[in-house]
Copies of this chain bind each other. A is one copy, B any other.
Amino acid sequence: MAKATEKHTHIQLEPQAIDGNPIVVEVTRGSTVESRHRGSAIVVDPDAHVVANWGDPETLVFPRSAIKPVQAIPFVESGAAEAFGLGDTEIALACASHNGEPQHVEAIEAWLTKIGLDAKDLECGTHWPFDREAARSLADSGGIPSALHNVCSGKHAAMLTTALHMAEPTKGYVRIEHACQQRVMGMLEFMCGLDFADIPRGIDGCAIPAFAIPLGNIALAMARTAAPDALPEMRAKAITRIRDAIAAEPYMVAGRKRYCSEVMAVTGKKVMVKTGAEGVFVAALPDLGLGVALKCDDGATRASQAMMTAILVQLGALEADMVDALAHLMRVPLTNCNGTKIGEIRPSRPLAF
């Protein structure tokens, strides 16, 4: 793996007084605001120039699953994906927080079979499918969930595949001292332009290490994902391969009724978006050569999705027909149990326009 060529990239900001992040999303009932979400967001180019920001982009943020497209780079760049004959489906799943629908689970099971492993080798833990309908179907058929149903099982399958390809032991691949996590951490440092030695760590929901990264550096990783031309050729090629796979298989990245899949089904290669737990969202915008990272302070996905849609529109990242097709994701109608519209989720100032 290439060594990080630069460290401690400083995100340049106009000086400003930040007294808490602004209210960025409002939830209304009738004509009254019922709930308010605060957050921060930043848009940068691959040279770490700030194009736009709301709130404090220096806050340390655990990017959670939003960083999966970067965590997946070693899987492609190392040649592991190609060596095992894996394609768009598996590369998209490596970046996925999937619903645990049959097509996700079956594809990951087939992948593991292809590399000579099975669900027992996954160290991500087990939970019922994220999608309630998939969970209900599984229960109806008398099934119980396995690690295959974990939203992160694709990322874990990619880590196992890379470990096998590098002739590393597979057991314990989630631990920070394992070559697999060291390799992924090195890639995160490279793409974020940041030395991780001194940043806070935690454990992610799927048991791998989690790093708290300034939001601007997460956006920088996305800008480099959007416009990787200045990166080493192998890396740039791997990143483009990942973007193309996600654009080709948006359903594999999330699933039914999910924001990421719906947006990318509409935008194709123009926009790569990825959700993370606790209100994180990122985007890579190849046409504009920009990266976006945002965090809703309180961790609400309903707010981070409205923020992302508003920012995509505001940046001019979408064609007019895409704006129309995705309008219901920016101003989300809320209905009660009788189907009556009772309010909406909408961007507030400063994100409204």
Contacts and interface: CB of A to CB of B under 8 A. Distances in A.
A116 to B, nearest CB: 24
Contact of A206 (B61, B212, B298, B336): B336
B35 A38 contact: no
B338 A298 contact: no
A337 B203 contact: no
Interface stretch (A26-34, A42-50, A216-224, A238-246): A26-34
Contacts of A127: 337
A299 interface: yes
How big is chain A's contact interface, by range?
Answer: 35 or more
A37 B212 CA distance: 18
Interface of A: 19-20, 27, 29-32, 34-38, 60-62, 123-128, 132, 135-136, 139-140, 150, 200-207, 210, 212, 278-279, 296-300, 303, 336-340, 342-343
Contacts of A38: 38, 297-298
B32 A62 contact: yes
A342 B303 CA distance: 24
B203 A35 contact: no
B32 A202 contact: yes
Most buried by B among A19, A62, A296: A62
B62 A29 contact: yes
A342 B128 CA distance: 20
B337 A298 contact: no
4 shortest interchain CB distances as A-B pairs:
A125-B337, A30-B202, A29-B202, A35-B299
Most buried by B among A150, A279, A336: A336
Contacts of A36: 297-298
A124 B339 CA distance: 11
A24 to B, nearest CB: 11
Contacts of A27: 278, 299
Given A19-B19, A136-B136, A139-B136, A338 B34 contact: no
Contacts of A279: 35
